[in-house]
A = this chain, B = another copy of it.
Amino acid sequence: MFTIGALAGRFGLARSTLLHYDRLGLLRPAARSRAGYRRYSEADAGRLDQICTYRRAGLSLAAIAGILAAPAAGARAALEARLVELDRELEQLRDQQRVIARLLRRPELVPDRTPLDKAAWVELLRASGMSDQDMDRWHATFEATDPERHGRFLAALGLGPGEAEALRARSRG
C-alpha cells in the first residue's frame, strides 16, 4: 500500500495529478486510512501505469477512462484516432515554423547587436508572458545550478556587485 506521495514519486508525477485523477474517478485509491489518507494498492499502481502509458500517447483522460472501462472496445480505435490528430497537430506546428521563418526574414528585424541591459531584459521576458514570480524562480534555478555563470550573467546586464550579490542572496534564500 502506498500513500499518495509515495505513488506519485514512483511514477514521477505530482501529488496534485493523483488528486485530480481521484476527483475524476479515473484512479481511486483502494482504501482510506482511519485519518482519511488515500491508500493505493498494487492494482492501483498497475492501473496508473496504464494511464501513464496512454498519456504518453497523448490520449485525453476521458479517452483513457473509456479504454480502461472496456479495453477491447476502444483501445485500438482511440489510438488510431490519436494518430490522425497527431498528423494534424504536426502539420500545424510546421506551419508555425514556416510563418516564423518568413517573419524573421523581414528587413525591420535585422539582427540588432546592442547588448541588452537589465530593463530591456526584464521587458523582454515580461513580453513573453513571464511574471515577476517566474523570474524569481528562474534566478533561483540559475543560482542553484551554476552560481558562477549566474554572477557573470548579472554583471553582463550591467548590475553593480552590490546589486548582483543582493539578488543572488535572495535567490538562495
- The segment out of A31-39, A50-58, A143-151 that lies at the interface is A50-58
Q: Determine the distance from Cα of A36 to Cα of B78 in the docked complex, in whole angstroms.
A: 48
- In chain A, residues 70-104, which have Cβ atoms closer than 8 Å to a Cβ of chain B? 70-83, 86, 89-90, 93-97, 99-100, 103-104
- Please, which residue of chain B has its CB at the minimum distance from the CB of A96? B58
Interface of A is mostly: helix
User: A43 on the interface (CB 8 Å rule)?
Assistant: no
- In chain A, residues 1-28, which have Cβ atoms closer than 8 Å to a Cβ of chain B? none
Knowing A111-B76, A112-B72, A127-B73 touch, does A96 contact B63 (C-beta < 8 A)?
no
- Please, which residue of chain B has its CB at the minimum distance from the CB of A67? B127
Q: A163 to chain B: which residues have CB within 8 Å?
A: none
Interface size on A, residues (CB 8 A): 48
Q: Is B58 touching A93 in the complex (CB atoms < 8 A)?
A: yes
Q: Determine the distance from Cα of A82 to Cα of B99 in the docked complex, in whole angstroms.
A: 11
- Least CB distance from A25 to B in Å reads 14
- Please, which residue of chain B has its CB at the minimum distance from the CB of A127? B66
User: A141 on the interface (CB 8 Å rule)?
Assistant: no
User: A156 on the interface (CB 8 Å rule)?
Assistant: no
- Least CB distance from A96 to B in Å reads 4
Binding site for B on A (CB under 8 A): 53, 56-58, 60, 62-63, 65-67, 69-83, 86, 89-90, 93-97, 99-100, 103-104, 108-109, 111-112, 120, 123-124, 126-129
